[in-house]
Structure formats: structure tokens, C-alpha cells
Amino acid sequence: MRRVFLVISIVLSGLLPAPTSVWAETLARPELVREVLAGKRHEARVSWWGFDRADSTKYLQQAIHSKARRLIIDRQASAWVTRPLSGVSDQEIIFEAGTELVALRGDFRSKGDCLLTWQECENVVVRGQKKDGGKSARIRMHKQDYQSAAYEPSEWRHGLAFLGCRNVLVQDLTVEKTGGDGIYLGTTRNREVNQDVVIRRVDCNENHRQGISVISAENLLIEDCRLRNTSGTAPQAGIDFEPNSPTDSLINCVLRRCVAENNAGTGFQICPQTMTGSSKPISIHLDRCVSRSNTQHAIHLCSTQQDPPGGRLRITRFVSENDGMAGLSVQFNPYDAVRIEMENSVLRDSARHDAFFPPIYVQGLGLESRPAGNLHFKGVTIKDDVDRPFLRHRDKTGIGVKDITGDIVLERNGRKETITVDDAWLTQYLR
């Protein structure tokens, strides 16, 4: 220990440059590492392997690959700086309150370099401890660097990537300024779906492509999350459900008490454009979610025009406030495809400065045999002081819509009007 203090005193006197290993030596506990590797200890701290304020990749990766059941990334005087890392199964990673895991500046040159990736892993927990004086654990990259000419353009430099994983919990973290998505739920060749995933109290802020992208998931719960300030490359949504193939799944996906705000795209986007009528029916539920001040739509469902999938999109106790385009936009969903239910929800001040979009927008497929529709409203309030229709339908065939039903309260300039939407009303309204 005296040798370490001697080196530090010499460095401070200006006689030697600071060796990066000094900090590692002061923290490393090789005798405890040996006990972890021998299976005698199931909880470990990353600093036992070492800490380097310039680049701690080797210590972080060795600690993760030790397969300690409970691994603590302990708070240091500065951030844990790292190159891309890979995760393992059967491990809980805990960020001490105030801990930062930060991408190494100048690295992440490959277009698909993510900060932390789990591939075909099971029983994974990644969570921050309770907030310490208002400062939560944070995962941070350098979005502006990746957007510059110094980097090859990419939309896949994600913060946390789960590829075909099962039994996952992500909780109490901030994921920000990534070169792709804050969190990405993707697939592998061997396993096409993530199963039993919970994302809770996560703040996805200022990411390049999406706050969260869901490519394939079954039994997904996202609750009490903030999805905000996405900007960089399309779609730039708070969250985007966007399968890559007809065999992907969007089954039992629930978002509860999530807020999507100030994104350059849509708040909540569902785009099963690669799925077909033979795909597994989708099932997505947005409950008590809020879309606020997004540049595009609050909720946007867009299927394929050729052979759209079936399923159910349920929207309950939803609030849209001051979104740039429609509160609810539905494209290419025929009357016999996805059933869309909106209940006890409020669309307020949608598309106030957009002459094209109303609060509710429906676009047909352009097929005379399959008119757009299958929208059902119950207890929906539209607050709109702009003198315009609250619902607009557009298609190239002029065949109208089918199976749009429910009750809507229209509030305009202090007046309320209750409207019962049925075939007779639609025939009169859309003529």
C-alpha cells in the first residue's frame, strides 16, 4: 500500500505521468476474484477486478464473464468507461446509485456496436439502485459523435440490446444519447422472440433512432417509463413495434403508465409492415399512457397494404396532448384485420398547426374488396378548437370504411357534443 501512495505522490509532483494501473491497483481484490471464479462467492463488485478511469472494458467484461450471480457496478469518483460489452445468463447486474457506464469516446466504430448486448441469454436482471440525491444510475453514449462525418452512418449503436432472450428485467436506469435505440429487443437465427421481459422505471432520453424498439416479443411489460427527446434518424419514436419478418411476434405486449414526449417522430408507433395474414395475431395494450408534444402522431398503426396481419390493439385511459399530427392514425388496416379499441381516452389539441391531419386519421388500402376500419371507441373525448372534421378517411377507391363504432364527446370552444358513430353516421359524415 505504501508503494501505491508513493507513486501517487510522485505523479502529483509532476515527475511522472499517471499510470492508468494505479487506480486499478488501489481497488483490485484478486483474492476475492479467485473466490468468485471458484464458486465460493456469488456476489461480486466489478472494482475487485480493477478500475481504469480511461478505459475499464477489460475489468467490466471479466467481471461479467465470471458469471457471478449478483454483480455490482460500484460507484467510483468518475464514470466506468467502456468499449462494447457482452452479457451472460443467470446474472443480476446492479448499478449503485449515481453510477455511470459511459461509451469510450472514439470507439464504437462498427455500425452494430452496442454498449451492452445479451444474445440468447436467460434470467437476466439489469437495474439501478434507488436514487441518491436525485441522481440515478446512467448508461450514456455519444450520439453527436456518431452523427458526425467521423463515423459511418448507422442506426444500430444501441444502449442495451437483447437478442432472443428470456426472463429479463431492466429497471431504474437512464439510457441516453445512444447511436441507435435506448433499448432494442431483437432476434437471432436460433430464437426468433424475446420472452417474459419487464422494463420498469427506465428513462430513455435523447437517443438517435428510438427510445425503445421491439422487433419480436411475447409477454412484454413496459411500465412507468419515459421515452423522450428522440432525434437523429427515422422513425425517431418514443417506442416502435416494428417486426423484421412474418415470423416475428408481438404477443401480449403491455405498456402501462408510460410517457412519450418531445420525440421528433411518433409517441407510440406500431408498424407490423413485414407481417402477413398468416403471422401470429398481434396483441398490444396501451394503458394509462401519455403522448405529449411529439412532432408526429400520438399513436400510429401502419400495416402492409398487401396482406396485413390480424390481432388487437387496445388503448385505455390514454391522453394525447399537443402532438403535431393525429392523436390516432391508422394506415392500411382493413375491417377484418387488427381490431383497434380506444376507451376512456382524451385527444387534446392534436395537429393544431397541420392542415392535413385531424385528431383521428384513417387511410385505406386502395383495395375495393377490403375497406379500412375495425375501430371502436368508448368514452373517448376529443378536445379540438380548430374548425374541422375530427375524423378524416382517405383512400384511392372511394369505397369508404367499415366497422367503425362507438361514442365520442367532441369539445370545441366551450361546447360539448356527444356523437354516436355507426354506419348511418359514417355514411353522412364521410360522403
SS3 sequence of 280-301: CCEEEEEECCEEECCCCCCEEE
Tell me the residue type at 298. A
Cα–Cα dist 312/286, whole Å: 11
Q: pTM, whole model, 2 decimals?
A: 0.93
- CA-closest candidate to residue 342, choices 426, 236, 421: 421
pLDDT at 397: 79
pLDDT mean for each 10 residues of the chain (431 residues): 37 40 66 97 98 98 98 97 98 96 98 97 94 79 98 98 98 98 94 93 98 98 98 98 96 98 98 96 98 98 94 98 98 96 98 93 86 96 96 86 96 96 88 65
pLDDT (0 to 100) of residue 380: 98
The number of beta carbons lying within 10 Å of the beta carbon of residue 31 is 8
Q: Which three cell numbers stand for residue 169?
A: 428485467
Q: What is the pLDDT of residue 7?
A: 37
Q: What is the pLDDT of residue 428?
A: 84
* pLDDT on residue 112: 97
Q: Do the Cβ atoms of 263 and 294 come closer than 8 Å?
A: yes
3-state secondary structure (DSSP) of residue 350: coil
For residue 363, the model assigns a pLDDT of: 95
User: How does strand 181-186 pair with strand 160-163?
Assistant: parallel
| Residue 162 in grid coordinates | 437483447
By residue count, the chain amounts to: 431
- The C-alpha atoms of residue 291 and residue 258 are separated, in whole angstroms, by 9
All three cell numbers of 209, joined, read: 433512432
DSSP of 23-36, one letter per residue? HHHHH--HHHHHHH
Q: How far apart are CA 206 and CA 231, in angstroms?
A: 7
Listed in sequence order, the residues at least 6 apart from 182 whose beta carbon sits closer than 8 Å to its beta carbon are 158, 159, 160, 175, 176, 202, 204, 205, 207, 210, 211, 212, 227
Rounded Cα distance, 382 and 318, in Å? 12
pLDDT at site 9: 38
* Cβ-Cβ contacts under 8 Å for 337 (sequence gap 6 or more): 277, 303, 308, 309, 310, 311, 374
For 157, which DSSP code?
B
Q: Which domains does the chain have, with CATH numbers?
A: 20-362 (2.160.20.10)
Contact 381, 413 (CB under 8 A): no
Separation between Cα atoms, residue 413 and residue 386, nearest integer Å: 9
Q: Is the dihedral of CA 249, 255, 258, 262 positive or negative?
A: positive
pLDDT value of position 368: 74
Distances (CA, A) of 426 to 120, 336, 390, 407, 419: 49, 18, 12, 12, 11
Q: How far is the C-alpha of 105 from the C-alpha of 299, rounded, in Å?
A: 36
CA max distance for the chain: 89
| CA 53/CA 76 separation, integer angstroms | 9
Mapped onto helix, strand or coil, the DSSP state of residue 247 is: coil
pLDDT value, residue 134: 61
Q: What is the pLDDT of residue 26?
A: 63
